[in-house]
Structure 1
Amino acid sequence: MARIPKELVDHIIQTADIVEVVGDFVQLKRKGQNLWAPCPFHNEKSPSFSVNPAKSLYKCFGCGKAGGVVQFVMDVEGTSYVEALKYLAKKYAIEIQEEEKTPQQQLEQNERDSQFIVSDFAKNHYHRLLLNSEEGMSIGYGYLKERGLNLSTIQTFELGYSLDAWDDLMKAAETAGFDKKYLEKTGLTVIRTDDQGKDTGRRYDRFRGRVMFPIHNISGRVVGFGARTLKRDDKMAKYLNSPESEIYHKSDVLYGLFQARQAIRTQEVCYLVEGYLDVLSLYQGGIKNVVASSGTSLTEGQIRLIKRYSDNVTVLYDGDAAGIKASLRGTDLLLEGGLNVRVVLFPDGDDPDSYIRKVGDQRFTEYIETKSQDFISFKTTLVAREASGDPVKKAEAIRDVLHSIAKVPDAIKRQVFLQQTSGIFGIDEQVLITEYNKLVKSPGAAAKPSGPPDNRGNYGNGAGSANSGFPPSSNPRSAPSPRPMTDEEEAEMLMYGGAEAAAALQGMSAGFPSGAAQKEEEEDLPDMLKVCEREVLRLLVLYAPREVEEEISVAAYLLGQLDEAPLKTPLFAEMWEICRQELLAGRFPDARLLAQNEREDIRQLITDLATERYEISPNWRTKEIYVFNEVDLPKLACDNAVLRLNKVHVQRELDRAMDRLRLPGLDDVEMFEILGNIKNLKLLDNQLAGMLGTVIPRGT
């Protein structure tokens, strides 16, 4: 994948008007310097979503979503960084000339584009046949109408029909000028072979006489098809899906997600069903936040897709005992992925599609709201009922439930689930805890502990135990190896930071403390130090080019007043260094560009520094009430921030000196040295307090 030159990326970001971009999705109203609207990412009545046009940033003070104009497009459309840039470039008529590709890269891109184009042609062909051909109308449209689907739903999901002919699509594609090899690569046509597997030269359409369900990727492009036969033939598969191809990977696609993504985000829950018709019937019934695994086992890729839009998923199970047991295994993956999982079970013989057609939209919605229960309780009750009266089956059922509990990342939830399981099975909770700890210690277990052994067992202290702070899958000391990046991810990450940015994506340090280590280090720092460091960093980011004195900028002034690496909070220190490097390169740090950083924690920090929920009322000025304005007095703001930071450092040193004074075994020389240091530190602390105006220095 070719890269977009950094200069062009900066031009797109500088050109894009965040008010116009956000205004395409929500209705903004001005209030003070900012514009406000109900958040497009979650349900709310009072607007808490703010857009700052001066800094080109947005932030929701309800759900916490924040960032710049590129991040907004990524969030609202569910696109990648590069796709968001292309969206903005198209909106503002900016031509993107990507850096030159190698011949191999160009060939691969052409191959993928050709497969997308031929798939789109097939989708349009099938859709046209459904609505305009005699066979399509009588058989395909008649079937969909019988299943209760209206024309609006059919058009929204672009449903179609394939004629019961061997080469209808193939002839139409060839007439339109498509190369037959792309029909073969996407699986739209099949190559006939002889008994030795050799190509006979004959081709035929894969889909014939079937209702067609186009499968879209998250960007809305057709990547494959699901097809249902309407013939009563036991030898013929009821559903036939496109084979894997360069553009279609079943494990990374969820049917209906393109249509449902906005509703999932705003409703803050994703309903997961099994089949195409389940999705269509629920969507038509007003439940638009619904997707399907399309009859395949749930995969980690599909779980990551759901998690991009919501942490909450409700699985709608058919009332079929055999199907439920098969689905339980896939649902464990949802728990392991850190999702909050709930379950709804329909009456025996019903699935979501049949049940909503039976009881109607309103009663269906009421049913899933009242019958929803957390997955662990559901599974525990189910397996306990099946094992009733059989001690051997009961023991196996308990271990099965413990396997699921071990996949829950949240320690408190694990403890609650253990208590619930104890009550349902009628077994002592401590026995369950003991068995749980055996499970997480066993080789190959879902949650393998890595903490030191302890005579109370892992439940009490060990990492990965039932009440530990780390989920089994995210324990920093036993984390799995990072997955390889795709070409698209590598290109995006290299956009700004080269190999270091790619390393950051994979969780490697790139010169700074990683994830858990950084968190532990931050926890050791006092809150007041973080507050003071944040204020210094805020002034640097927001007012870098503003002059504090003639020809002396805020950035130069702060760098001159403080050491080269003055901040101790790891993320703040990293941001300080990024700003310092910008200045060394002859550029001032720009909050608009910094807010587009590929790392979420940096984007969030920049947005937090640059946005405030409240503004000073202009009425205060009419009443001649003096309010300190850092914009007009940047030197005073910088001096106060530096003095406060230095004062906190002095107070920390004073605390350390007092701790040393309490150490046993000090001789007189050591004690006098420490006392002298304490005296000097107290004097310096008083001087700093006097300069800040928080105390009156002696002698005044």
Structure 2
Amino acid sequence: MARIPKELVDQIIQTADIVEVVGDFVQLKRKGQNLWAPCPFHNEKSPSFSVNPAKGLYKCFGCGKAGGVVQFVMDVEGTSYVEALKYLAKKYAITVQEEEKTPQQQLEQNERDSQFIVSNWAKDHYHRLLQGTEEGMSVGYGYLKERGLNLATIQTFELGYSLDQWDDLLKSATAAGYALKYLEKTGLVIKREDDQGHDTGRRYDRFRGRVMFPIHNISGRVVGFGARTLKRDDKMAKYLNSPESEIYHKSDVLYGLFQARQAIRQEEVCYLVEGYLDVLSLYQGGIKNVVASSGTSLTEGQIRLIKRYSDNVTVLYDGDAAGIKASLRGTDLLLEGGLNVRVVLFPDGDDPDSYIRKVGDQRFAEYIEKSSQDFITFKTTLVARDAAGDPVKKAEAIRQVLTSIAKVPDAIKRQVFLQQTSAAFGIDEQVLITEYNKLVKPAGAPRPAEGGAPSGGSGSGSGSSSARPAAPVAATRALTAEEEAEAAMYGAFEPGAPAAAPSAAPTETAEDAAETDLLQTCEREVLRLLVLYAAREVDTDVSVAQYLLGQLEEEPFKTPLYAELWALCREELLAGRFPEARQLGQSGRADIRLLVSDLATERYDISPNWRVKEIYVFNEVDLPKVACDNAVLRLNKCHVQRELNRRLETLRQPMLDDAELFENLRAIKDLKQLDNQLAALLGTVIPRGA
């Protein structure tokens, strides 16, 4: 892929006004130094979404989304970094000249662009035919009206109609100057072949006498079509879709996602249905966060698309038992993709489209809320009902449920689902865990003994002591601390029994965790001052950035992400530039962008009434040196305390020789003295007006 030159990237970022860009999506209101609005990424009543114009950053204090102007476009549009830059360039009329492509790359790009152009023309052509011809109005529009769709929905989804003629589109496209090869590449036109597969030279339209459903990609470009025939002909497929092409890959497209993406983000859930009309009826009924797999099996690519906008998906199943069982595999993929999956089952004979037309918008929404249940509970109920009274079928049903549980990445959720399954089937939880561990055991690894029962005559004891953890773990490495904890939770280790392999790290105590939290707090405060006030002077000709980097060591941070941001700031300063929040917030790394936005965004401003009432409030803006000194002293004190604790822990180790003992006692004495000195400095009272 061709790259946008760095100079042009910098120009786009410097030109883009974050207030204007965010203002295209939400209504901002000024409060203090920042502007505020209800967050576009989640539902809320009180605005917690803040934009800082001076620093070019945004942050939501509700859901945690944060970043600069490029990140905002990525978040709100669900696009890549490069696509977000192109969006901003277009908005501000900046010509994007990408770095030179190879002749082959340029040819491929031209081919794709040509197919997009001809697909968009076809969409407009079908849309005109729907309302601009007698056949379109009587047949196509009449059908859509019969299905309860209004003109606004037809316009929003750009629905159309193909005339019942062999070559209407072909003739119209040729007359408009579109090349035949692109009509064929997009599947709009088919070449006729003889019995031997030779081209006869004749061409005809793929879609004839059908209602047309344009399929948009996430950017809103038409990539293909779905088409429904209105003829009663058993030999003719009811639905016909565009074939795979360079611009249309069924596995990477969800019908309706372009129209639904904002609603999915705001509602924090995606409703997944099967057909085009399901999407259209629900969207028209006020449920706009709905997409369809268009009758195809759900794919990993489609799941990744959903996950861009929400971690929650609710599958709306038709009341057809055969169809439900065929869809279970796709739902397992949703679980494997890390999504929280719920299910709604409609009465037998109904699908989402027919049911919402039957009961109306309000009752439909109430039914969804009342009938929604998590997928594991749904599947357990479904397979248990089918296996009732048959022990063999019941055993198989349990394995089916365990297979789905194994797809869930989150360990705590798996544990809860195992407990639910145990209760639902009336089977001991430890038996389920043993069977579960067999399912996730790496290929070739020895199976654990059955739970509690002796294996053969070896007297190996309880199977739970040798069971592996409840997540797939390669046999060639030791368990991590997280995996060991999970294994213990599932009863994989007997209390007091030796672990099968040493953990990657010792278990962290509460004291260790508190010490780590304190260190991160101190490191974060130094970074916050650096990001906020890098160019501000603490003394004549000495900036905050220079002062902090001079007071601390070259690598003073233990937290990896904080250390990386510190290194970036240091590089900027050594290059003769101040590390500004606006520029750092546009980093190519999402974790750096989020950290910078978090550091540079304040939720509250000091009220001017404090100064009116002559109540002094320490202001780090007016006293940057005091703020920097306090931050550096606290970080140094934290380092001293950590080293002091390490030395004290060393004293507890057995078999310590006299030299080591003396060295540690001397170091402890010096560290305690230094700790007291730092505490005294930090306890200094700042005089009023200093």
Same fold by TM-score greater than 0.5: yes
Which residue type is aligned with residue 681 of structure 1? Answer: L
Q: Deviations over 1:164-187 (max 9, x none)?
A: 111111111111111111101111
Which residue type is aligned with residue 569 of structure 1? Answer: T
Q: Deviations over 1:170-225 (max 9, x none)?
A: 11111111111110111111111122222221111111111000000011000000
> 2:319 & 2:96 partners in 1: Cα distance?
52
Q: Quote how far apart the aligned CAs of 1:98 are.
A: 2.0
Q: Deviations over 1:455-484 (max 9, x none)?
A: 63587856559x999699x99xxxxxxxxx
> 2:545 & 2:145 partners in 1: Cα distance?
67
Q: Does 1:339 align with 2:344?
A: no
Q: Quote how far apart the aligned CAs of 1:310 are.
A: 0.7
Q: Does 1:92 align with 2:92?
A: yes
Q: Quote how far apart the aligned CAs of 1:103 are.
A: 1.7
> 1:541 & 1:641 partners in 2: Cα distance?
13
The correspondence of residues 65-214 of structure 1 with structure 2, limited to 5 A, is 65-214=65-214
Q: Does 1:369 align with 2:377?
A: no
Residues 434 and 160 of structure 1, relative CA distance in 2, 3 Å threshold: same
Q: For the Cα contact (< 8 Å) 2:343–2:378, is it kept in 1?
A: yes
- Counterpart residue number, 2:563: 573
Q: Quote how far apart the aligned CAs of 1:390 are.
A: 1.2
Which residue type is aligned with residue 374 of structure 1? Answer: D
Match of 1:640 among 609, 627, 630: 630
> 1:205 & 1:462 partners in 2: Cα distance?
55
Q: Does 1:227 align with 2:227?
A: yes
Q: For the Cα contact (< 8 Å) 2:434–2:464, is it kept in 1?
A: no
- Counterpart residue number, 1:316: 316
Q: Which ranges in structure 2 are unaligned for 5 or more consecutive residues?
A: 449-461, 474-478, 488-503
Q: For the Cα contact (< 8 Å) 1:689–1:695, is it kept in 2?
A: no
The correspondence of residues 476-487 of structure 1 with structure 2, limited to 5 A, is none
Residues 458 and 115 of structure 1, relative CA distance in 2, 3 Å threshold: farther
- Counterpart residue number, 1:456: 464
Q: Quote how far apart the aligned CAs of 1:283 are.
A: 0.6
Q: Deviations over 1:581-621 (max 9, x none)?
A: 22233322221122222322211111110112112111111
Q: Does 1:532 align with 2:525?
A: no
SS in 1 for 2:397: helix
Residues 55 and 342 of structure 1, relative CA distance in 2, 3 Å threshold: same
Which residue type is aligned with residue 544 of structure 1? Answer: A
Residues 397 and 30 of structure 1, relative CA distance in 2, 3 Å threshold: same
Q: Deviations over 1:208-259 (max 9, x none)?
A: 1110000000110000000011111111111110011111010000000000
> 1:463 & 1:568 partners in 2: Cα distance?
30
Q: For the Cα contact (< 8 Å) 2:319–2:346, is it kept in 1?
A: yes
SS in 2 for 1:319: coil
Which residue type is aligned with residue 656 of structure 1? Answer: R
> 1:435 & 1:520 partners in 2: Cα distance?
31
Residues 335 and 258 of structure 1, relative CA distance in 2, 3 Å threshold: same
Residues 458 and 235 of structure 1, relative CA distance in 2, 3 Å threshold: farther
Q: For the Cα contact (< 8 Å) 2:34–2:50, is it kept in 1?
A: yes
- Counterpart residue number, 2:456: none
Task: Give the stretch that moved more between structures: 204-213 or 666-675.
Answer: 666-675
Q: For the Cα contact (< 8 Å) 1:149–1:280, is it kept in 2?
A: yes
> 1:350 & 1:471 partners in 2: Cα distance?
45
The Cα RMSD (Å) is 2.6
Q: Deviations over 1:61-118 (max 9, x none)?
A: 1111111111111211222222222222222222222222222221111111110000
Which residue type is aligned with residue 604 of structure 2? Answer: Y
Task: Give the stretch that moved more between structures: 542-551 or 41-50.
Answer: 542-551
Which residue type is aligned with residue 590 of structure 1? Answer: E
> 2:466 & 2:37 partners in 1: Cα distance?
48
Match of 1:692 among 678, 682, 685: 682
Residues 687 and 436 of structure 1, relative CA distance in 2, 3 Å threshold: same
- Counterpart residue number, 2:241: 241
The correspondence of residues 350-499 of structure 1 with structure 2, limited to 5 A, is 350-441=350-441, 443=443, 456=464, 461=469, 463-464=471-472
Q: Does 1:679 align with 2:687?
A: no
> 1:548 & 1:442 partners in 2: Cα distance?
60
Q: Does 1:544 align with 2:528?
A: no
Q: Which ranges in structure 1 are unaligned for 5 or more consecutive residues?
A: 449-453, 476-515
Q: Deviations over 1:288-342 (max 9, x none)?
A: 1100000000000100111111111100000101100000111000001111100
Q: Deviations over 1:624-655 (max 9, x none)?
A: 22222222222222221111111111111111
Residues 443 and 125 of structure 1, relative CA distance in 2, 3 Å threshold: same
> 2:466 & 2:42 partners in 1: Cα distance?
39
Which residue type is aligned with residue 110 of structure 1? Answer: N
Q: For the Cα contact (< 8 Å) 1:464–1:470, is it kept in 2?
A: no
Q: Quote how far apart the aligned CAs of 1:4 are.
A: 1.4
- Counterpart residue number, 2:25: 25
> 2:575 & 2:107 partners in 1: Cα distance?
37
Q: For the Cα contact (< 8 Å) 1:355–1:364, is it kept in 2?
A: yes
Q: Quote how far apart the aligned CAs of 1:416 are.
A: 1.5
> 1:526 & 1:259 partners in 2: Cα distance?
45
Residues 333 and 290 of structure 1, relative CA distance in 2, 3 Å threshold: same
Q: Deviations over 1:428-465 (max 9, x none)?
A: 211111111111115399xx9xxxxx963587856559
Count of residues paired in the alignment: 647
Q: Quote how far apart the aligned CAs of 1:282 are.
A: 0.6
Q: Identity over aligned residues, as a percent?
A: 83
Q: Does 1:599 align with 2:607?
A: no
Q: For the Cα contact (< 8 Å) 1:318–1:348, is it kept in 2?
A: yes
SS in 2 for 1:576: helix
- Counterpart residue number, 2:649: 659
The correspondence of residues 610-621 of structure 1 with structure 2, limited to 5 A, is 610-621=600-611
Q: Quote how far apart the aligned CAs of 1:129 are.
A: 0.2
Which residue type is aligned with residue 602 of structure 1? Answer: I
- Counterpart residue number, 2:457: none
Q: Quote how far apart the aligned CAs of 1:126 are.
A: 0.2
> 1:44 & 1:418 partners in 2: Cα distance?
34
> 2:575 & 2:309 partners in 1: Cα distance?
38
Q: For the Cα contact (< 8 Å) 1:159–1:213, is it kept in 2?
A: yes
Which residue type is aligned with residue 440 of structure 1? Answer: V
- Counterpart residue number, 1:505: none
> 1:469 & 1:84 partners in 2: Cα distance?
39
- Counterpart residue number, 1:513: none
SS in 1 for 2:317: strand
> 2:112 & 2:98 partners in 1: Cα distance?
17
SS in 2 for 1:35: strand
Residues 568 and 314 of structure 1, relative CA distance in 2, 3 Å threshold: same
Residues 457 and 664 of structure 1, relative CA distance in 2, 3 Å threshold: closer
SS in 1 for 2:413: helix
Residues 307 and 413 of structure 1, relative CA distance in 2, 3 Å threshold: same
Q: For the Cα contact (< 8 Å) 1:411–1:470, is it kept in 2?
A: no
Which residue type is aligned with residue 132 of structure 2? Answer: N
> 2:42 & 2:567 partners in 1: Cα distance?
35
Q: For the Cα contact (< 8 Å) 1:188–1:207, is it kept in 2?
A: yes
Q: For the Cα contact (< 8 Å) 2:270–2:289, is it kept in 1?
A: yes
Q: For the Cα contact (< 8 Å) 2:441–2:472, is it kept in 1?
A: no
Q: For the Cα contact (< 8 Å) 1:437–1:458, is it kept in 2?
A: no
Q: Quote how far apart the aligned CAs of 1:694 are.
A: 5.8
> 1:524 & 1:570 partners in 2: Cα distance?
18
